[in-house]
Structure 1
Amino acid sequence: MRVLVVEDSDRLRVAVAKALRHSGYVVDEADNGEDGLWRIRECSYDAVVLDIMLPKLDGLSVLAKLREENNRTPVLLLTARNTVEDRVTGLRGGADDYLGKPFALAELLARVDAMCRRRFDHPATTVEVGDLVVDTDRRSASRGGDRLDLTAREYRLLEVLALQPGKVMSRTELEKHLYDELASPMSNVVDATVYQLRRKLAAAGSGSPLIHTRRGQGYVMEEEAP
């Protein structure tokens, strides 16, 4: 999952980004509204954490422009102004959630998790594909009751495929879920990660293939018909 954090306080932005990365998210950062809006237009994010009081362009203006352009990326607004009127203004402006400052990082993570699940039409915290079960809260997966020992990168790729079963995803799309702007992508990272995932999935549960290659298109997760 890829998240953008738009916050002008360096201390808070770094803390939020660090917590999200620790939870397995790929995170980009912006310290003003204009940069944040440009990034959202240029990249596909699963969620945006957006402060309201921003230099150059305030958060509500960023949100308004996105919704005018029919960009439905889930947005969590952050603000020190936490009156009922402020919350109503933000939600009516198209925000998906609202969190007043100061806040606990654990609550922010829970709200981002929930927004991402809703984005993929999976309000529950578990996703099942055949005998594979992915727990998006614990960032873990099991197959046939056997827990899978996955690296952070393997889990991120498994999660995005499992949340969209039957959808073919290109290598470029999948790469965006593995790297943030601070990392240098390796050309074969998606293929190598898929190879490791297939090996671990084959060793657990029924062992039947779940990740399939669509030549010239990418990869798809689906249970094979008996």
Structure 2
Amino acid sequence: MTHARIRVVLADDERMVRTALRAILSAEPDLEVVGEAATGAEAVSVVRQARPDVVLMDVRMPETDGIRATEQILATLDGPPRIVVVTTFENDSYVYDALRAGAAGFLLKRAEADTLVQAVRLVARTDSLLFPSAVRALAAEHARAHAAPPAWVAKLTGRESDVLRHMAGGLTNAEIARRMEVGSATVKSHVAAVLAKTGARDRTQAVIAAYEAGFLRTAHPGS
């Protein structure tokens, strides 16, 4: 059985970057570039029309930047695409804001072609997040100062805490289920509880909230 091709939209204000990304992705039989945008506003419009599975979103674009575009796409579309922000610098504050907006992760523009291709496949076909270790540094720089942990931390059960740590490690529900030796339905229930207790709309925001609360500082995510 063959899988349907993964549909991708490229959003970057530099034509050469979009051309390079298109060439890399179009060389793969399971990937298809279905649209391009040079601004954030244009990205929102193209995504609404093309309904891709994945968007590679530059964070620094004219008119509407990638952060606002990410927010608009995730807030206004039913079954929105997974959004991966692409940046030149891994400590870019724009990246962190995009992750807080719900992006599924980020890639550096200097990433190898194979890394790019595998990242697109990963976010399209799983519920995993692309969170390199650099997210820890970004979180440390942008974390709110807490006199005490937020109330939701104490409300997590032990199992929910474990699930949140595994989510931060980029594990999918199926991988978490194997790691914890429970059923996938149980993990899905724990994830829903984590989202509700953290007040997060999605997995990305829950993980960011965990970093900001200091919840993930004492243990390596996914351990």
Q: Which has the higher strand share?
A: 1
Q: Which has the higher helix share?
A: 2
Larger radius of gyration: 1
